Amino acid sequence: MTQWEKPVLTLKNFNKTFGNGCSFCKDKPENLKGGCCPKCRTIYACRDVSLCVYCGEVVGIVGESGSGKSTLMQALYFDSEPTDGEYYLDAYKNGERNIFADSRRQQKWVRNMLLGMVYQNPVMGLKMHFSAQSNIAEKMIAAGNRDVHSMVARGNDLLERVSIPPARRKDNPCNFSGGMQQRVQIAKALANEPPVLLLDEITTGLDLSVQADVLELIQKIQRANRNSILLVSHDLSVIRMLADRTVVMRNGQIIEEGLTDQILEDPQHPYTQQLVYSLL
């Protein structure tokens, strides 16, 4: 029960802006139009976003494109720098150190050791012209492993779990189907057994049957390992299938959050209502 009391991931007052802001928009959110300043065109991609993920929990973030959910994921995986905010992981320095304020080198360590990421676009997450085996080894190499045999063994184990046949494991992902590429990305994300997985629109752009395969795989892995997952999707059916708890984002802000069932059964915010009813 104590595990449940302390979140594995905590984000506090996260902000991300593109542009410098002007006197018209700074600290005057009421002047913004759709998260953007009409005068200086500064984009407020995320505003005061706070959330946490508890151990073994799957949290879904839902919202239309431009709502700031991908910006959020990029900052959590250190692909882009935050404007301000605090970011804690329980597994990192006892959850007492704001990782956003740490050195780039430390952030890379966190990224390699404590996080696993699956991008919507596999080009972002995989080196397309390196073999599937090497792609998985990359994470282990970054974590300091210098033993080829152990990395190959671990790679085989992971590729087995995501059903990449042995004959294809030395092939380059650029020759794989979209679904296979996503499965390699998942295997890569799991390479160092990170406590937290970040999944960014992982089924968007895949065929329906392939989508179902990938989601089932995630579900299977999550049940087996009790991973904590933060998952972003614009698709409520993905959220319904995987997420315990759901956060709704719009124009860079969280407008509603709660248990997934509760959000889907009884949406409060008009925007959420619109989302839910359009699904039905």
Partner 1 sequence: MFKEKHFAFLDESSKKEIRRAVLKAVAIPGYQVPFASRELPIARGWGTGGLQITLSLIGEDDIVKVIDQGSDESVNAVSLRNLIQETTNVRSTIRTQEATLIQTRHRIPETPLKEGQILILQVPLPEPLRNVEPSEYKTKKLHGEGDYSGAWLKMFEDIMRYGQTATGADHPVCVDGRYVMAPSPIPRFDNPKLDNSPALLLFGAGREKKIYAVPPYTQVVSLAFDDYPFRRERFAGEKCRLTGLSDVYLDELTDETTGEIYYQINDSSYLLEHLNRETEMQTE
Partner 2 sequence: MGYVAVQGGAEAIKEANLLAEYNNCRAGRAISVEDIRENLKKMVDSVMSESSLYSPELAALAIKQAQGDPAEAVFLLRAHRSTLPRLYFTTVTDTAHMRVERRISAAFKDIPGGQILGDSPDYRHRLLDYALCAQSPADAQDFARQYEANIREASERTSAEQSGNRGRLPKLVDFLRSQNLVSNPDLSDEPPHDITTEPLVFPSARSSRLQILTRGMTGAVTALGYAKIRGFGISHHPNIGELRVGSLPLHILSDLSGAQEEYYIGEIEATEAEIFMEAHCRGEEAENVLGIGLGYGLCFGRNETKAIAMGVLEHSMENPGPGDPTSDEEFVLLHVDAVESTGFVSHLKLPHYVTFRSKLDRIRNIRKEQSRV
Residues that bind partner 1 (CB under 8 A): 104-105, 108, 127, 130-131, 133-134, 137-138, 141-142, 146-149, 151-152, 170
Q: Is the distance from CB of 17 to CB of 75 less than 8 angstroms? A: no
Query: What is d(CA 95, CA 267) in angstroms, rounded to the nearest whole number?
Result: 33
CA angle 126, 230, 193 (to 5 degrees): 60
φ, ψ dihedrals at 186, nearest 5°: -65, -45
The residue with tokens 């996503």 is: 182
Q: Which is nearer to partner 1, 180 or 243 (CB)?
A: 180
Beta-carbon neighbour count of residue 146 at 10 Å? 8
Interacting partner of 214 out of partner 2, partner 1, none (Cβ under 5 to 8 A depending on kind): none
Q: Which is nearer to partner 2, 40 or 152 (CB)?
A: 40
Interacting partner of 113 out of partner 1, partner 2, none (Cβ under 5 to 8 A depending on kind): none
Least Cβ distance, residue 229 to partner 2 (angstroms): 30
Residues 174-190, buried b or exposed e (16+ Cβ, 10 A)?
eebeebbbbbbbbbbbb
Q: Which is nearer to partner 1, 130 or 235 (CB)?
A: 130
| Contact map string, positions 1 to 40, toward partner 2, x by CB under 8 A | -------------------------------------xxx
Written as six digits, the tokens of 56 are 């073994």
Q: Which is nearer to partner 1, 33 or 146 (CB)?
A: 146
Q: Which is nearer to partner 2, 131 or 262 (CB)?
A: 131
DSSP-derived pairing of the beta strands 9-18 and 43-53: antiparallel
* Residue-by-residue DSSP string for 225-257: H--EEEEEES-HHHHHHH-SEEEEEETTEEEEE
| Contact map string, positions 35 to 74, toward partner 2, x by CB under 8 A | ---xxxx---------------------------------
- Tell me the longest C-alpha to C-alpha distance in the chain: 61
Q: Which is nearer to partner 2, 38 or 205 (CB)?
A: 38
Interacting partner of 41 out of partner 1, partner 2, none (Cβ under 5 to 8 A depending on kind): partner 2
Least Cβ distance, residue 172 to partner 1 (angstroms): 10
Q: Which residues bind partner 2 (CB under 8 A)?
A: 38-41
